[in-house]
Amino acid sequence: PLPPRLFFEAVEQSPVAISITDHKAAILYANRAFETLTGYGREEVLGQNESILSSNATPQSVYQQLWRTIQRKETWTGTLVNRTKAGLDYLAELIISPVLDRDGDLQYFLGMHRDATKVH
């Protein structure tokens, strides 16, 4: 069996920004790429809502669609306009998937995103 340490290091060193949140999007874990991309150190984001990454440019309807999807325990993919700590906006290509417990109830959300600004 693969040791848990290997899972941790793989997630930690992933080039994709990865975060794990509670059911209300409060951040419980963020990997190194998350820190690099957003400019926030993980100690600053722990306990904060993912909405700290929100710019004013994403319509409310997109967030509503996102929440409807993930609360149905489905995976949401989409693009949001995020803002770094330094105030720079970037296009975040995001995947949010539910993490269920043994009973099939929502436990955590897994967020993965990359900067899609430079894709053309």
3-state secondary structure of 41: coil
Nearest residue to 32 (alpha-carbon basis) of 24, 44, 23, 40:
40
Site for ligand FAD in 32-71 (CB under 6 A): 49-51, 53-54, 58, 60, 63-64, 67
Cβ(96)–Cβ(70) below 8 Å = yes
For the chain, counts of helices (H) and of strands (E): 4, 5
Cβ(41)–Cβ(30) below 8 Å = no
Site for ligand FAD in 64-103 (CB under 6 A): 64, 67, 80, 82, 92, 94, 96
Between 6 and 65, whose beta carbon lies closer to ligand FAD? 65
Among 18, 21, 31, 40, interactor with ligand FAD by CB under 6 A? 21
Between 5 and 101, whose beta carbon lies closer to ligand FAD? 101
CB atoms within 10 A of CB 60: 7
Which residues of the chain form contacts with ligand FAD (CB under 6 A)? Answer: 19, 21, 24-25, 49-51, 53-54, 58, 60, 63-64, 67, 80, 82, 92, 94, 96, 109, 111, 113
